[in-house]
Structure formats: C-alpha cells, structure tokens
Copies of this chain bind each other. A is one copy, B any other.
Amino acid sequence: MASRAKATIFDIAREAGVSKSTVSLVLQGSGLIRPETAVKVRKAIEDVGYVYNRGAANLRKAHSNVIGMVINDLTNPFFAELAVGMERVFQSAGIVPFIANTAENPVRQEEVLKSLMEQGVAGLIVSPARGTMPSAFRRLEMAGVPVVFAMRRLPESRVPVIAPDNHRGAYLAAAHLIGKGHRRLAFFGGSSDLVVYQERLGGFREACETQGIAARDVLVIEGETSRRGGLACLEAALAMAEPPTAALCFNDAVAFGVMLALRKRRLEPGADFAVVGFDDVVEAEHYMPALTSVAVDTAGLGERAAHVMLKMIQSRTTRAEDHIGAVNLVVRESCGPDRRTRNRPAGTGGAA
C-alpha cells in the first residue's frame, strides 16, 4: 500500500529472480527473452507497482519520445482542432504529445521552449507567438531538435511550415463578395506583423484589383484577432463617410465579433452587411446566421504537421518541405448581395 522509495529495475529483478538486464530487455519487448521469463517479470512489475523512469533511459538512449506542441492561444478553438488532428496521428505512433500555451507572449514562449528542451523533447510543433524574434529558435536549431511551424511562419526562417493557402483563401472569399455585387470592401482584423496577415491581405487585394475594385474602395482596418477586435473594426468602418458593404475578416473570431456588432446596431448580418470569416471553426456552421468562411481543414493540417514531424525524427533531419494546404470557401448565409444591387431585382423579404 504505502510506497517506500520508488521501485527500480533492480527491485523488480530481485522480485522476479532475474538480473536487471533481463528486466530491461523485457521492458523493451525484446524477443531475446524466454516468454515464461517475460511473464514472470511482468508480474513482478505489476506487483511492485514499478514505474519506468524515462529520464534515466533517455540518458543512454539519446532520443526521447516526447513531442511538444507549443500554441499561441489555447482559448482559440481553432488551435484545439489543430491539436486534435495531431493527436490522432501521434496516438497511433504511441506518442503522447504535450501541449503548452504561450498566450501570444514571446517571453513566455521563451520559457516554454526552454523547459521543453530541457525535458529532452524529440521534436516541436509550434505556432509562434506574435512578435517572436527570428532568433528565438536558434537554440533549438543548434541542438538539432526538429521543429515544424504550424499555421504561422516567421519572416526569415528555414523551419518547415505547414499552413493553409492563405493567399488563395482570401482571394476566393473576396471574389465571392465581389461576385455578389459588393463594390466597397473591407478587410478586418489582424496585424501586419504576422506573415499570415500579409498573405491573407495579399489575396484579398489581388482579388480586388483583378476584378476592378478601385484601391480607394478597399478599406483595411487592423485589430485584435478576437471577437472584440471584430466589434471594434465594424464600428470604425461604419463611422466612415462611405462605409463598406462587406468585409473579409482575418479569422472567424473577428467575424463573430463583426456579426455581433451588426446585431447590436439592429443590422442583419448577411442581408445588411456581408461578412466572411477565415478558418471555418466548428462554430461557424452553428452561428446565426451561419458564417460563410474559408475552410482550411484544420485537423488535416494538424495531421500533416504530425506526419512531417515523425518523418523528420525518423530521418534525424531538421529540414523538410513546406506544406501548403488546400482551402475552400464554404458558402453559408452570412453574405447576401449588396443592398443596392439587390433592390433592382424582385424584392426579397427582410427577415432571414
């Protein structure tokens, strides 16, 4: 019952009447030991309540089986979905990934990375915090620990990236809006220190140019990538002289904020102002109205990142190909046609 000092491989060796080496072999499932012996040993392990000391083992083995996942914002359901995808593949490889949150704080991130390294992780999947210095991952690189960036990338870094095709996603979304007759468009939320932001905004701009929207008719408002940020963006936009009639949001959280702000002003998202999100989190489908959003196959990206990581570890390299995931626009109910265009054809009722 009560536990004296922790049991070691020696204790169980004595218990089973074999040598420590034999126990070690059993622990590793070696085929060298006689089945009956193995059984005997396993019983002793059970009886004594032995717990394997991976730290000690790693001292010799050089490679642990711990993989860390460093996330910039645990409260964003998006990252939970990403984690779930990763876990699926790690689980089947017998690995338990450890998740750590940096809360979008580079200093905290530094601590987290340090701790993970000290723990002797075999590899790291990271969504870097905003404002991460390029140097932040130097230590990892020096130590030869495989690192994969998921969703976000750093300006100049040779770390492989698994991310969706942000440019294309934004392009599709903007084109959709324009196709619906909107002529004054906005891009809401995010900030320019994020590479993702550049990419999404780039796609948005390209669509506008290609489809003949004048530069002065596109409004870009940076802001927090949260509901609150979206709310602020919409308020700012509607305060302008000639406000936009549609917006592509940096992500779904921003879009939800925008819809909320519209409701507060007794405007109907979709009918009165079109909004498109990005990421297509599960809530998007369940919103009222359901949010049109760029689906990035989050869980799939997570799986992909995990696979790449596994391969890197296996081939003990620190390099790998980037992977840009396909995206597609999921059209739901959050963007009707521009009202001005809409009034010309048959008058459709008001309530959605």
Chain A residues at the B interface, C-beta cutoff of 8 Å: 1, 3, 6, 49, 51-56, 58-59, 64, 66, 68, 74-75, 77, 80-81, 83-84, 87, 91, 96-101, 103, 108, 111-112, 115-120, 139, 142-144, 227, 256-257, 260, 263, 282-283, 286, 288
Report whether over half of chain A's contact residues are helix, strand or loop; otherwise say mixed: helix
User: Does A75 contact B81, Cβ atoms closer than 8 Å?
Assistant: yes
A142 to B75, CA, bound (A): 34
User: Does B74 contact A143, Cβ atoms closer than 8 Å?
Assistant: no
Note all chain B residues with C-beta closer than 8 A to A66.
119
User: Does B99 contact A101, Cβ atoms closer than 8 Å?
Assistant: yes
Least distance between A263 CB and chain B CB atoms (Å): 6
Considering only CB atoms, which chain B residue lies closest to A1 in the complex? B142
A265 to B140, CA, bound (A): 55
Note all chain B residues with C-beta closer than 8 A to A115.
96
Least distance between A167 CB and chain B CB atoms (Å): 28
User: Does B52 contact A55, Cβ atoms closer than 8 Å?
Assistant: no
User: Does A54 contact B119, Cβ atoms closer than 8 Å?
Assistant: yes
Instruction: Pick the residue among B52, B59, B74, B87 that contacts A56 (CB under 8 A).
Output: B59
A260 to B139, CA, bound (A): 49
Copies per assembly: 2
Instruction: Pick the residue among B1, B49, B55 that contacts A54 (CB under 8 A).
Output: B55
Least distance between A235 CB and chain B CB atoms (Å): 15
Note all chain B residues with C-beta closer than 8 A to A1.
142
User: Does B112 contact A87, Cβ atoms closer than 8 Å?
Assistant: no
Least distance between A327 CB and chain B CB atoms (Å): 21
Considering only CB atoms, which chain B residue lies closest to A59 in the complex? B56
Q: Known contacts A75-B81, A75-B84, A100-B99; is A3 also within 8 Å of B55 by CB?
A: no
Q: Known contacts A55-B119, A77-B77, A227-B286; is A49 also within 8 Å of B101 by CB?
A: no
User: Does B51 contact A117, Cβ atoms closer than 8 Å?
Assistant: yes
Note all chain B residues with C-beta closer than 8 A to A52.
118
Least distance between A58 CB and chain B CB atoms (Å): 5
A83 to B80, CA, bound (A): 13
Note all chain B residues with C-beta closer than 8 A to A54.
55, 118-120
Note all chain B residues with C-beta closer than 8 A to A87.
101, 103
User: Does A55 contact B120, Cβ atoms closer than 8 Å?
Assistant: yes
Q: List 12 A-B contacts (CB under 8 A).
A: A6-B143, A51-B143, A53-B120, A55-B59, A55-B64, A75-B77, A75-B80, A91-B108, A96-B111, A98-B100, A99-B100, A119-B119
A171 to B351, CA, bound (A): 37
Note all chain B residues with C-beta closer than 8 A to A55.
54-56, 58-59, 64, 119-120
Note all chain B residues with C-beta closer than 8 A to A77.
75, 77
Least distance between A179 CB and chain B CB atoms (Å): 27
Considering only CB atoms, which chain B residue lies closest to A113 in the complex? B96
Considering only CB atoms, which chain B residue lies closest to A144 in the complex? B3
A139 to B120, CA, bound (A): 25
